[in-house]
Amino acid sequence: MHRITISLDGPLADAFDALTHEQGYASRSEAVRDLVRAAVDTRAVAAEETGECVANLSYVYDHHQRALVTKLLDIGHAHHALIVSTTHVHLDHDGCLESMMLRGPTSEVRAFAERVRAERGLRFGALNLISAGAVRGDQANPPQAHPAHAGQAA
């Protein structure tokens, strides 16, 4: 473990302490570690086109938009191997929110998300992508077979 020291002006330090307390961190160090992990992973994922990831794609749309629901379903079925689950929420009479949990090759997940977000009639779309290395906690090592499943086909 390395020790680092940072300096913050008073108002920023107070706001950070309030955030740390609100989010239930035991210390400033724990909060800073999470921020650094997120920044490192964001940078790695932004540059990464190879490797695996997990992701959440959320989008809001008007279900009355002509043929949009059918197009979204067709896109999803064409990429079913990436979709782990989908949640659909009725926001109001016209608006719907869908949130998809995705898993697969980073380049394919990004391409799928871009395809969905490009559909005419979507009001908003956001992709939160996390590298599989960050999920495992070790970006340098590839995934290994779990000992209980050794010898089984993946």
* Neighbouring residues of 128: CB distance < 8 A, sequence distance ≥ 6: 55, 56, 57, 58
DSSP secondary structure of 58-93: EEEEETTSTTHHHHHHHHHHHTGGGEEEEEEEE-SS
Give the predicted TM-score (pTM) of the model: 0.62
Domains of the chain by range and CATH?
10-47 (1.10.1220), 52-136 (3.30.70.1150)
Per-residue pLDDT of the chain (154 residues; tens, 9 = 90+): 888 888 888 988 899 999 889 989 888 888 888 888 777 776 666 666 678 999 999 999 998 888 999 999 999 999 999 999 999 999 999 999 999 999 999 999 999 999 999 998 898 999 998 887 655 555 444 444 545 545 555 4
Sheet with 95-105: strands ordered across:
83-90, 95-105, 52-62, 122-131
Dihedral through CA 37, CA 39, CA 43, CA 45, nearest 10? Answer: 60
